[in-house]
Amino acid sequence: MMQQITFYSGLSDLQDRYDSFIVDLWGVIHDGSQLFPNVLAALKKLSEAQKEIVFLSNSPRRSSILAKNLHELQIPDTLYKALYSSGEDAYRALKMPRKAPYDHLGLKAYVLSQPMHQGLYYDLDLEIVEAIENADFILNTGPQNFKPEEYQQILHQAVTLKLPMVCVNPDISVVHGGKLILCAGALAEYYQKIGGEVRYHGKPYPNVYQSVIEMFTVKDLKRTLAIGDSLITDIKGGNTFGIDTALVMTGLFEQEFGRDFDPELDMPKLITACHQKGVQPTYLFPQFQW
């Protein structure tokens, strides 16, 4: 049975309940180009209250690249404990020597990618192949501005060849500067539908949360809150891992429910969507703010 989703105006209402915060980046902290209002002030308040933040992003890039981006957005690394990305998670899994289930994956990769993601795999000892029939697996970080139908033929061929796909960004879409852009997860979802095997890195899968929990000083799931804008990655991931979650009304939430969502009047719409997706946020915030 769906529990009540409690609406709070900001994080200050919860400061005594949690020590550790797992916070999404894109759609919560920034929109791909600039910070959302009140974010920096909220991070400073959390730091002053001696709370720990680990940013967890479904970005197919290395964590160091995302940290550099945050620095450019005027967020110093003193305001967060660590940063972990789905790209970093995949990098560690693909780096030699590999552990199960990647120890027999092979080194020949057919990549579905874009130039800005290539830093993820350039030093992984992979052989990038141009023909799908020469590949051991598909490395999917998400092509640039793609349409799924453009890749249907190659993916059907890959299913016939029984090639596993490594999906480095489970997100179906993201909002960049107000526009909805498809991500690697959209191709992975299609590949699964036609019978392909997909190995995911990132939210909502538990392994990535386990890696993040190890980064906190206080490793207490009851004192940990996950904050995000996506029901199917951030909230589902927190639910699966057994931690409380807060949904913010920015980013993907705004795309799905509209900019004029009223927590008092429109909560039934959110509850219906949660029922349909099988997820349960603990809290609802207007945005990431104190």
Structural domain spans, the chain: 12-88+204-285, 104-200
User: Per-residue pLDDT for 2 more than 70?
Assistant: no
Pairing state between β 137-140 and 283-285: unpaired
Of 261, 252, 241, which is closest to residue 282 (Cα–Cα)?
241
Q: What is the 3-state secondary structure (H, E, C) of 54-78?
A: EEEECCCCCHHHHHHHHHHCCCCHH
Query: What is the model's pLDDT at position 290?
Result: 98
Other Cβ atoms closer than 10 A to 276: 9
- Looking at the domain covering 104-200, what would its CATH class be? alpha beta
Sorting pLDDT into bands at 50, 70 and 90, what band is 3? confident
pLDDT of residue 123: 85
Over residues 181-202, the mean pLDDT reads 97
Q: pLDDT value at position 154? A: 97
Q: Would you call 218 helix, strand, or coil by DSSP?
A: coil
Alpha-carbon distance of 107 to 54, in angstroms, equals: 32
* pLDDT digit string, tens, across residues 154-187: 999 999 999 999 999 999 988 777 788 899 999 9
Provide the pLDDT confidence category of residue 93 given band limits of 50, 70 and 90: very high
Q: Specify whether the CB–CB gap between 155 and 196 falls below 8 A.
A: yes
Where is average pLDDT lowest: 62-76, 86-100, 154-168, 175-189?
175-189
- Number of residues written out for the chain: 290
Q: Does the pLDDT value for residue 1 go beyond 60?
A: no
Q: Which CATH superfamily is domain 12-88+204-285 in?
A: HAD superfamily/HAD-like (3.40.50.1000)
Three-state secondary-structure class, residue 228: strand
Same fold? 12-88+204-285, 104-200: yes
* pLDDT computed for residue 283 by the predictor: 98
Percent of the chain with pLDDT over 70: 99
pLDDT attached to residue 177 = 73
b/e per residue 210-236 (b: at least 16 CB within 10 A):
ebbbebbeeeeeebbbbbbbbbbbbbb
Average pLDDT over residues 270-288: 97
Residue 288, judged by CB atoms within 10 A of its CB (0-12, 13-18, 19+), counts as buried
